[in-house]
Amino acid sequence: MVYLDHAATTPVPKAVADVMYRVLTETFGNPSSQYPLGRDAAALVERSRRTVAEALGCAPERFVFTSCGSEADNWAISLAARQGRHIGRHIITTAVEHSAVLEPCRLLEQDGWSVTYLKPDRLGRVTAEQVADALREDTVLVSMMLVNSETGNVYPIRAAADALRARGSKALLHTDAVQGFLKLPFTPDELGADLVSVSGHKIGAPKGIGGLYVGPRCRAPRPLIAGGGQEMGLRSGTEATAQIAGFAKAVELRLEDRAEKERHMRQIRDYAFEQLAAIDGVVPLGTHEAPHIIAFSLVGYPSANAVNELGAQGVCVSAGSACHKGKPSHVYAAMGLDKRTAGGALRISIGPDTTQSDIDAAVAALRAHRDTRFPML
């Protein structure tokens, strides 16, 4: 199998699975229990928190574990909305955000909130100037992703933060950094972000674990889940110790030779674009700034057909975000792509172990698909 869908999820390394197995079978106590087995589990959670927080570049007490990136996004938006409700009821986001940001914003609109959705250009770019132009006195939150999961575009979070400060805005700044964590160098302070969402299964951790950085401008956040007071009183419920330990181990593995991993992914990304350019009808999409995402269109050839046919040959690529579940991409619609280009959109996303041979296999399969199918769009 040739797996080229790392932006959807990543394989779990054996070292991560081994750590999780040991936790499940040996350190399985409830971290709230007072006997040694429980205290060992609690210590494991805090060691893991320090590991992930250090990689993110924040203090451990500023990082809260969640079940996934989507939960972290939802929490960030509700937290900012509640904190700013006495200032106003206006939110700025982009039309190309993950649905975990867009859908909570739409729910707030149903409750009378005003949301400005910044429109990208045809390359999917959104600027800090657009943020500044959209700011109002009643703006309480700006939410802009760090890396777009479909195009690989990197967004100007630092510049947006500077625009907020220059205007004297009290709005909090949230960034969905799920696709950027340990693929691009950043810290919350470097970005100027008040809230940062991350996810484990994009970097070799299991599904079911993520986290939210909550910065000092977030005053006394309301608990996401009330109950037993776990996660510093912010997210009650018995901690998922195995997933948390797996997240920390995955972070440790990604940090080993990190610069070389990122260099390798960029090299493979550039090689993929070079090979894809030799296929008639292929058009690159976005700005492909992220090191791991290659977005393109096989114009006129429905992407679902290509994904299914390549999958039958053991080559795993996607037609965009896995969260779409076959629905048309709101990202490409916002970019204003024509029907034939948007309908043929595909994404290859790579990991530290992806090779040129993997790209060659995908390109060969795509070429065969194009040569044996008539355009249908």
Q: What is the DSSP string of 262-320?
A: HHHHHHHHHHHHHHHTTSTTEEE-S---STTEEEEEETTS-HHHHHHHHHHTTEE-BSS
Is residue 105 annotated as part of the catalytic site, yes or no? no
Q: Which residues contact 334 (CB under 8 A, 6 or more apart)?
A: 95, 96, 119, 120, 124
Q: In whole angstroms, what is the distance from residue 262 CA to residue 180 CA?
A: 11
The percent of the chain in helix, strand and coil, each rounded to the nearest 5, is 40, 15, 40
Largest Cα–Cα separation, the chain: 68
Choice among 58, 218, 316, 323 that is catalytic: 323
Q: In whole angstroms, what is the distance from residue 150 CA to residue 54 CA?
A: 28
Angle (CA) 150 353 183, round 5° = 50
List the catalytic residues: 323
